[in-house]
Structure 1
Amino acid sequence: MSGVGTNQERGVRTLSLDAPDTRNALSASLVRELTAALTASARDDDVRAVVLTHTGTTFCAGADLREPPAPDDVVRLLRLLVELPLPVVARVTGHVRAGGLGLLAACDVAAASTAATFALTEVRIGVAPAIVSLPLLPRTDPRALARFCLTGERFDAAEAVRLGLLTAAGDDVDAVLAPVLDGLRRAAPQALAETKRLLTARVLEAFDRDAADLTALSARLFSSPPAREGMTAFLERRDPAWVL
């Protein structure tokens, strides 16, 4: 059963992806619930910032292949994270795969424990990181990122910091984030909103320019024969037919 847990302390609202049985994969229902929770947070004058975190050992495993969300809904969710007039801070203590990296890239600050691992696994199931690239490419080193997009290899938190995917990493992620949250609590709400608008302008340009084309590409690839083979192989825990 998918869901989003909510907690609030001193103006910081924590939203927790709470579908550990599916490794917090982005199902249609989870995307709807997270979109609703973020929208409600933006409308609440008592909320100064949002922390996006998770239950279980995985922050987000990407799209739920059994209940996949519509590409348009994923684009709306990612754009909402970028456009939200509140700073959004990702807190990661587990693994992140595929579309989960899009969530991280759409956040304003992202921190992870050194135990976390990351992978852009789309090519291994016959698709491409199309929608994920909207927030990811403007915020990371494209030359360094190319290797992981093309190979689907796993990389660690230190590499994620070097790429620009993470702001910081440490053994104790809460200790890493403590000064960040303290700083957000000390900042004026209007100043935070306007500063975020300055910082996200380039990311939103990518959405305005490329979202329609990448949404169409994602839909086309996910309905293709290679993707059907790749997703079936993944669910059956075997290599797809193209593996040499």
Structure 2
Amino acid sequence: MPDAPTELVHYTVGGPVGDAVATLTLDSPHNRNALSRRLVTELFEGLERAAADPAVRVVLIGAEGRVFCSGADLSEASTGGMEEGTRRIIDLQRLIVTLDKPVVTRVSGAVRAGGIGIVAASDIAIAAEDATFALTEVKLGLAAAIISLTVHHRMTPRAAALTTLGGEVFTGAQAASYGLVTSAVPGESLDEEVARVCASLATGAAQGLRESKRVLNRDLVARIDAHGTEMAELSARLFASDEAREAMTAFLSRTK
């Protein structure tokens, strides 16, 4: 019999972050934790599993390796298009935003493009000061369209313009000053700070957490629902363009 496929998102409950915390860990080293169809599906499943467990009060998203998430899976995008993929990534952001339990992201290493949408959709994001971020879409003839729904909701307008139009790398400390993440701490203190925040959140009553999150995210949910279809169509159209296909092919050839 063939070996069972290795899961790309690990689901655990408890551990150093506390018994009331479900941790979803991205672990897809072959594509630097890119948002492939399978990884997105497994992340959906993990979030829904946590939502259905009454013992879980907090959901933590983290990653194995030196890259938190490299964004869209360009190998899939360059061969099969992104019509379904763009919609699924919007739906993933919406699920994080509307989940009845607070979602925390732990960010170390690099996070790029679509991966920043996960960070922005989360209720609380804690980054290492030396983590690196970049909205690289502009370099490939694309636009940060589907993740703009959450990213531009979090960032100040000036910071959004600088990072979206420039596509340059910025640090976790800068991400905190831009409003993208909640806080940035020295790398050696990251796990301690994440555990502290998760423990604090877990003291909330289930109803209090649910209703408070709905109040906090009401405008963001409305933004996603109002503009999601438009942004998905724009993103899919750009991915299918000759300019973007040439840029993606060149990028993939450099990274092999």
Cα offset, 1:98, TM superposition = 0.2
The reply to whether residue 108 of structure 1 matches residue 123 of structure 2 is yes
1:182 aligns with 199
| Matches of 2:185 and 2:238, distance apart in 1 | 37
| Matches of 1:23 and 1:2, distance apart in 2 | 14
Cα offset, 1:72, TM superposition = 1.1
| Matches of 1:134 and 1:111, distance apart in 2 | 20
Q: Superposition pairs for residues 1-244 of structure 1, below 5 Å? A: 3-9=8-14, 10-68=19-77, 70-171=85-186, 172-237=189-254
- Partner SS state of residue 229, structure 1: helix
Give the aligned residue type for 1:150. Answer: L
Cα offset, 1:2, TM superposition = 5.7
How many aligned positions are there? 238
Give the aligned residue type for 1:4. Answer: V
1:242 aligns with none
Cα offset, 1:196, TM superposition = 0.5
1:241 aligns with none
| Matches of 1:75 and 1:2, distance apart in 2 | 22
What TM-score does the superposition give when structure 2 sets the normalisation length? 0.90
Structure 1 unaligned regions, length at least 5:
239-244
Cα offset, 1:119, TM superposition = 0.2
Cα RMSD over matched residues? 1.3
- Partner SS state of residue 254, structure 2: coil
- Partner SS state of residue 180, structure 2: coil
| Matches of 1:51 and 1:64, distance apart in 2 | 23
Bigger relative CO (Cα 8 Å, ≥ 6 apart): 2
Give the aligned residue type for 1:220. Answer: R
1:180-232 deviation per Cα after TM superposition (whole angstroms, max 9, x unaligned):
11211211011001000011111111111100110110110000011111101
| Matches of 1:97 and 1:2, distance apart in 2 | 22
Instruction: Determine what percentage of the aligned residue pairs are the same residue.
Output: 46
Say whether the 8 Å CA contact 1:169–1:176 is kept in structure 2: no
| Matches of 1:114 and 1:50, distance apart in 2 | 22
Give the aligned residue type for 2:32. Answer: R
Structure 2 unaligned regions, length at least 5:
1-5
